[in-house]
Structure formats: structure tokens, C-alpha cells
Amino acid sequence: MTEQITIIGAGMAGCEAAWVLANAGFAVNLYEMKPHRYSPAHHSPDFAELVCSNSLKASRVDSAAGLLKEEMRRLGSLLVPCAEQCAVEAGGALAVDRHTFSALVTKRIRSHPRITVIEQEVDAIPEGNVIIATGPLTSDALHQPIAALTGASLYFYDAAAPIITGESVCMDHAFYASRYGKGGDDYLNCPMNQEEYLAFYEALVDAETAPLHAFEQEQLRVYEGCMPVEVLAKRGQDSIRYGMMKPVGLTDPHTGRRPYAVVQLRRENREGTLWNLVGFQTNLKFGEQKRVFSMIPALRNAEFVRYGVMHRNSFLNSPKLLDAGFALKQEPRIRFAGQMTGVEGYMESAGSGLLAAWNLLRALRGQSPLILPCETMLGALVAYITDPYQENLQPMGANMGLLPALTERYRDKQKKYQAYAERALAALEMALAASDMTVEAETLARKSAAF
């Protein structure tokens, strides 16, 4: 094949995309600005660099992270078998020797005869078919043309609130209502009496915060309007009770009275399986978030699918800009992949690169897109970040709350998650068969696993 494809960025997503397309017979130019220039978070010249944790999360297929990796394996992922080759002991998680892992990925990408690595910073979007996978720290040189192309729809967030599963909320201590009856049952309210609030307040102001990188501290100074809840709380005992926890306009049906304070939850998806804590953007350490926010009576058993975060990140308004194959709606020759699409996490980024590449490949062949069913973890994640009804996208990682509810109810969580996994993998196999991709995906998976 003579078709030339450009991929910008040799991170997790870019490497997966290059691997898929090169093994399908296409010539790939893979641009990477390292080692001539590094982002503030990167230090190694190797590809697929893990800049924070070396953990790729749980291995068990009956977990969200494990299911995601198994789906990726069946789609021919290069990074999943590379990670397993470089694994270090980490209990039930897949953790890697980060330097060995990056070196192995780099070796396999550089040794592929149809991948040409170009060590150069890109400052304009190339002609032809291109996948942009430059991550949340995209250089200013490329950031500008992307912003111009997308109508300046490249968002920044410096703080985000935690997200929990709806089924983990204790409804004996919660009720649906909007203030003054406006908006119907848009919010799920978690009331607190004075004693509960004061105990929560003291725990919040004394909780330990997570450290920030220097470049993140500089970025955050620009965004004064998005204050972490623990910072606001330190301004006075009633500061948050007159802010995001104000109880005005609400009556607790359990008591018939207005609560002393209330935490409101807002739907994170249309199905109501995920809810975010309104106004609770935070920089507390994850363990502290679990400890402190579980003091809210309705959230005593809360299952956190994403903890609050506070750091620099840039991402697209994907619901407006991207289709389910990661193509730019206004210019489909351009696709995006990785964290800049709104997925969060190492393997989530890699998975988006896989799907972007498979869909570009199918488009070049004149085939219909590969749209994975929402019963799969990858399909549900893509559906979430490209949902046109999504009004305030915040980055999301794999979690069971993204999946449609099961028809059968399970009291045992492990059995329930196993049922989710079995349904997901069956749905994936059916989707591959319907797209005549089974043999090609299996062939690529075998090649990816061959060392």
C-alpha cells in the first residue's frame, strides 16, 4: 500500500495507532518531539513514557481496568503484552518497570519496517490522514493550530470533583429534589445535621492534600474561579455551608425540615449510574477523599469511580467535535486519540489509539466504522466522551458505572462484575464478527504478543 499516514505523538495512544496501521500494510510517519524537546512532565527519550504511577491498575478481568485491558488485547494491543512482559509484583495490579516497558515499546515501534520515526516538533497539522495523539501537555506550537481548527474548543481544567456510582448512595439518607422545586428531580441531595456537618468540616480542613508539580502550580494560579473545596472551607466554618452545601430551598422528606447542610449530586450520565459531587473539586489525596467524603451519611458506602483531581490538562470538547470513531466531524481525515479526547488513564489512552487506528483503517478501505457496543468497556467509554448530550465533559477513566445495568440483580459484587465482564467480551466478539474483523484482530493480537 502506498497510503501515507501521519501520527503525531509517540505516547501510549500514538504507539498503539502506529502499530495497528503499520501491521495493516500502511506506511506510517510517527512524529515525536523528544529528545529535542520535552514537556514539563517528560524526561525519557523512549516512547510510551509513564510519567506518574507505574501501575496500569487491576489485572482481573472482573474489574473495570482488567476488562479494558482484555478488550484491548483482543483488538491487537501492543502495549498490553509489553506491559505483561515488564511486570513487577503489585498484588492484583499490573505494574511495570517503567523504563523497561518504555524501552520495549520503543524497540518494537522503531524496528517495524513500515514505521518511520521523525524526531521533530510539529507546529502545523499535516495534510492527508493524520492522528493527533499529543496528550494533555500538547506543546504550544501545536496547541495553537488545534485550537484554531476546533474553534478554540481546547479546554483546560485545573480541578474536578469526585464521581461515584448511583447504586452506592444510601437512599435512606438522600432524596431527589431541586431547590425551590425548580428543575424536577435533577439533583440527588445528601443532607447533614449540625453535628454531622461540624465533624465533616473539621475532617475536611485537616485532611492532607496532594502535591502539585511546579508547572501545575503556575497553571493553577491563572484559574482563581475554580477553588478546591478544602481551600474554601478554611475561610470559615460556614464558608461551604453558604456555598456549595447551602440547604436553602430544600426540604428533607425524611424529617420534613430543611437540612443544616446538604451535598448535591448531579448526574454524570443520562442513565444516572454515575453522579458527581457538585462543587467538590478538590486536591485532597485519594485516600483522604474516601475517608472524608464517606462521612457524609448518604455516602458512607460510596463507590468512587474517579477521585477529584487538580492539575493541568487540556482536552477537546469531544461531544461537539468528534464522532465515535475519533474523527473530527468537520474534517474526518483528522483523528484524535489519547487523553486529549477526554479519556483518563494510561490504558484508556492506549485504547483510544487502538480504536482511532482501526476506524481510520476501515475508512481507508471504504468500510463502515467500528462502533463497539456500550456493553463493552471501550465502547462505553467512547460513548461517554462523545455523547452529544454531554454538556460539561470532564476526563473519565474506565469504571463499571459506565456500563448499562444488568438485567439480573446480584448481591455479590464480584459475581456482578464477572457478569459485566462476560457480557462485555461476548459483545466485543459479536461486534468484531459483524465487522468481519475477527481474523484480522486475532492475527494482530498474536503478532503483538510475539517477543
Q: Which domain holds residue 146?
A: 4-157+313-445
pLDDT at 183: 62
Q: What is the DSSP string of 57-121?
A: EE--TTSHHHHHHHHHHHTT-SHHHHHHHTEE--TTEEEE-HHHHHHHHHHHHHT-TTEEEEE--
Is the domain of 49 the same as that of 145?
yes
pLDDT recorded at residue 227: 76
Tell me how many domains the chain contains.
Answer: 2
The CA–CA distances, whole Å, from 91 to 59, 84, 160, 307 equal 9, 14, 29, 22
Cα(278)–Cα(229) distance, rounded to whole angstroms? 10
Give the pLDDT confidence score for residue 223 in this predicted structure: 41
**Whether 137 and 172 share a structural domain:** no
Q: What's residue 311's pLDDT?
A: 62
Predicted local confidence at residue 41, as pLDDT:
63
- Its pTM stands at 0.77
Q: In this predicted structure, what is the pLDDT of residue 390?
A: 82
DSSP element (H, E) containing 14:
helix 12-23
The reply to whether 96 falls in a domain is yes
Residues 202, 300, single domain; the answer is yes
The verdict on 294 and 333 lying in the same domain is no
CATH code for the domain of 267? 2.40.30
Please indicate, yes or no, whether residues 354 and 290 belong to a single structural domain of this protein: no
The 10 Å CB-count burial string (b at 16+, else e) for 335-364 is: bbbbbbbbbbbbbbbbbbbbbbbbbbbbbe
Grouped pLDDT means (10 residues each) for the chain, 451 residues: 86 98 98 84 85 82 96 98 88 83 97 97 95 87 89 65 93 91 80 97 94 52 61 92 92 95 87 88 93 98 88 81 96 96 94 98 97 98 93 86 93 93 98 98 97 78
